[in-house]
Amino acid sequence: MKRIVFALMTTLTVVVLLFGYNTSTMGAMTGGDTVIASGGDTATSPESQTVTGPAVNTEWGPVQVQVSVTGSEITDVQVLQYPNNNPKDQQINGYALPILVDETIQAQSSDIAIVSGATVTSNGYISSLQAALDEAGL
């Protein structure tokens, strides 16, 4: 009888610990969190526009990009959502996203290289970016 009770309590403890563990797939950065941005102030001319790409679901969480364009020039990129729920996500994306944003501004397109070690986030970023650029007519 003691063995059965012990086995049940052990199983219950393991199940509680497993379901209580937070993973990077439990959500993404949104709202009042820090937004990674680059570029400068956007002009306020009639040809300036800001377009938000869709939130692209990745295995680690959604990635969403907002692009400011003036004429046919990308003037600013902000990453509105990205996986940011654990220290590993924060480390990877804290390194990768500024690189992706800088490459976008330099390339003036979504034709940029993925960042090694952040392939999933890079692919989500590029997909959201391309959709925003398509909507902006670039």
Output the pLDDT for position 31. 41
Output the pLDDT for position 33. 46
Output the pLDDT for position 101. 93
Q: What distances in angstroms separate CA 45 from CA 27, 49, 65, 92, one per listed residue? A: 37, 9, 22, 36
Helices (H) and strands (E) in the chain, counts: 3, 5
Q: Residue 113 and residue 115: Cα distance in Å, rounded?
A: 6
On the question of pLDDT at 39 being above 80, the answer is: no
In which band, very low, low, confident or very high, does the pLDDT at 24 lie, cut at 50, 70 and 90? very low
**Mean pLDDT: which of 11-20, 26-35, 69-78 is highest?**
69-78
Output the pLDDT for position 64. 94
How far, rounded to the nearest angstrom, does the alpha carbon of residue 17 sit from its chain's CA centroid? 28
Question: How high does pLDDT run on average in the chain?
Answer: 79
The domains of the chain, with CATH numbers, are 23-136 (3.90.1010)
On the question of pLDDT at 65 being above 90, the answer is: yes
Average pLDDT over residues 106-128: 90
Q: Residue 118 and residue 95: Cα distance in Å, rounded?
A: 9
On the question of pLDDT at 30 being above 70, the answer is: no
Angle, in degrees to the nearest 10, between helices 119-136 and 87-107: 40
Q: Residue 27 and residue 70: Cα distance in Å, rounded?
A: 33
In which band, very low, low, confident or very high, does the pLDDT at 52 lie, cut at 50, 70 and 90? very high
For the chain, give the number of residues.
138
Ranges of beta strands (E only) in the chain are 36-39, 48-52, 56-58, 61-70, 73-81
**Which residue did the predictor score with more confidence, 44 or 12?**
12
Output the pLDDT for position 32. 39
**Which residue did the predictor score with more confidence, 4 or 44?**
4
